[in-house]
Amino acid sequence: MSGNSFGQAFRVTTFGESHGTAIGAVIDGCPPGLPVETAAIEAELARRATARSRFVSQRREPDRVEILSGVLDSVSTGTPIALLIRNADARSKDYARFRDVFRPGHADFSYQAKYGRRDWRGGGRASARETAARVAAGAIARTLLAAEGIAIRAWLAAVGELEFERGSDLEAGESNPYFCPQPERVQELEDYLQDIWKAGDSIGARVDVEATGVPAGLGEPVFDKLDAAIAQAMMSIPAVKAVAIGDGFEVVRQRGSEHRDAMGPAGFGSNHAGGTLGGISSGQPIRASVAFKPTSSIPQAVDSIDSAGNPATVKVTGRHDPCVGLRAPPIVEAMLALVLADQLLRDRAQNSKPLSRE
Ligand SMILES: Cc1cc2nc3c(=O)[nH]c(=O)nc-3n(C[C@H](O)[C@H](O)[C@H](O)COP(=O)(O)O)c2cc1C
């Protein structure tokens, strides 16, 4: 199976299945001398974890990370960094009934069609469990970016009809388990989710992300434009159905006189573009929005087929997320960090002054 690696200079490969022994990531290209601490990686994993509220999957994974290589005395050596996260709370028997039946909205059917077999335990490789490996690798990318003054924050921007505004406090979403940037509206959000939950249904969501401190000049013409790399990164997250940069689909209603960001000696007057021009960062904050579909595993029966093509009925009960957006902000942040770390190193390879080796 190919397609498990992302990035060129800061290259991340993930491996593992939801109910296998472990998942993990190998990072090739991380510069030497970067602090790499288990605690910092686990802190990011804890933000993505299950069971942080009653409205997310109750699977309980400790998400301890083992650093197998590429780090000595808590500092990267420049050789591949291998990260391992063991699966501790897999209940494969819950999935035995889906061994020969396809769950609509999941990857069961398409994996079977492509490979002629599939790991039916907990969604196998297609499971969002894989995103823990991305978050672990992303934690290292974030350390690299922080050393350059680049910070990334994502927040829950919408759930169904509810829209949330981010104020000037960029950390407001960190005060609650939903990454809601308006903590005073958490009760409203919980009431809304409770109604969806009681109806045995799920709901879509939008997560917005911003990177600040990004220098002008990141992004490679023409197929590896910064916005193209961000779109690929976000689209590769399970359940993502749309990605927008800057004003996104709002541009359809805008005039050029409104959208183009005027410039002056003090900088840009606005940021409709979302921080990229011609696929290269402009020095403005990078802004993107990511839309997540409502999850398919809900306790309502739905028509399906078995692997022989016979009609079947599927009803999914057990430990599931009724709204992916509640857990997605750390994953979105990690993917943006992987893009920016990769583009930063690629830019340095081509554009830096002659290397000094002191
Ligand atoms: C953090 C996260 C948690 C998820 N949890 C669930 C879940 O509990 N139930 C479910 O049906 N889908 C869940 N998904 C989505 C499925 O993994 C995804 O829809 C499925 O693999 C099919 O892929 P696709 O939607 O990208 O086509 C989750 C996705 C993410 C990012």
Number of other residues whose CB lies within 10 A of the CB of residue 53: 15
What's the confidence (pLDDT) of residue 356? 57
Q: What residue's CA is closest to ligand 1, atom 5? A: 321
Pocket test residue of 17, 295, 332 for ligand 1, highest count of atoms within 8 A of CB = 295
- Specify if 250 maps to a domain: yes
Q: Which amino acid is at 59?
A: R
What are the Cα distances from residue 349, in Å, to 10, 31, 325, 352?
Answer: 12, 12, 36, 6
- Specify if 36 maps to a domain: yes
- Specify if 356 maps to a domain: no
- Specify if 194 maps to a domain: yes
What are the Cα distances from residue 178, in Å, to 36, 154, 167?
Answer: 27, 11, 16
Find, among 226, 217, 62, 208, the residue nearest to 132 by Cα.
62
111 C-alpha to ligand 1 centroid (Å): 15
Distance from C-alpha of 316 to C-alpha of 329, rounded to nearest angstrom: 25
Report DSSP state, residue 309: S
46 C-alpha to ligand 1 centroid (Å): 19
Q: What angle do CA 124, 125, 131 make, to 5 degrees?
A: 115
Number of domains the chain is built from = 1
78 C-alpha to ligand 1 centroid (Å): 34
- Specify if 357 maps to a domain: no
- Specify if 190 maps to a domain: yes
What's the confidence (pLDDT) of residue 95? 84
- Specify if 14 maps to a domain: yes
Report DSSP state, residue 145: H
Instruction: Kindly report the pTM of this predicted structure.
Output: 0.97
* Domain extent for 144: 5-351
User: Element (H or E) spanning 339, and its range?
Assistant: helix 329-351
Q: Which amino acid is at 152?
A: I
Assigned token pair, 270:
């606005």
What's the confidence (pLDDT) of residue 4? 97
Distance from C-alpha of 245 to C-alpha of 247, rounded to nearest angstrom: 6
pLDDT digit string (tens) for the chain, length 358 residues: 599 999 999 999 999 999 999 999 999 999 999 999 999 999 999 999 988 999 988 989 999 999 999 999 999 999 999 999 999 988 888 888 889 999 999 999 999 999 999 999 989 999 999 999 999 999 999 999 999 999 999 999 999 999 999 999 989 999 999 999 999 999 999 999 999 999 999 999 999 999 999 999 999 999 999 999 999 999 999 999 999 999 999 999 999 999 999 999 999 999 999 999 999 999 999 999 999 999 999 999 999 999 999 999 999 887 888 999 999 999 999 999 999 999 999 999 999 876 555 5
Distance from C-alpha of 103 to C-alpha of 311, rounded to nearest angstrom: 12
- Phi, psi dihedrals of residue 6, rounded to the nearest 5°: -140, 140
What's the confidence (pLDDT) of residue 91? 84
What's the confidence (pLDDT) of residue 294? 98
What's the confidence (pLDDT) of residue 358? 53
131 C-alpha to ligand 1 centroid (Å): 10
Assigned token pair, 161:
């009809």
Distance from C-alpha of 332 to C-alpha of 318, rounded to nearest angstrom: 26
Burial of 352 (0-12, 13-18, 19+ CB in 10 A): exposed
What's the confidence (pLDDT) of residue 92? 82
Give the SS3 label for residue 241: strand
Q: Which residues line ligand 1 (CB under 6 A)?
A: 57, 106-107, 123, 126-128, 131, 237-239, 293, 295-297, 320-321, 324, 327-328, 331
- Specify if 131 maps to a domain: yes
Pocket test residue of 52, 234, 324 for ligand 1, highest count of atoms within 8 A of CB = 324
Q: What residue's CA is closest to ligand 1, atom 30? A: 128
Distance from C-alpha of 271 to C-alpha of 282, rounded to nearest angstrom: 10
- What is the CATH number for 128? 3.60.150.10
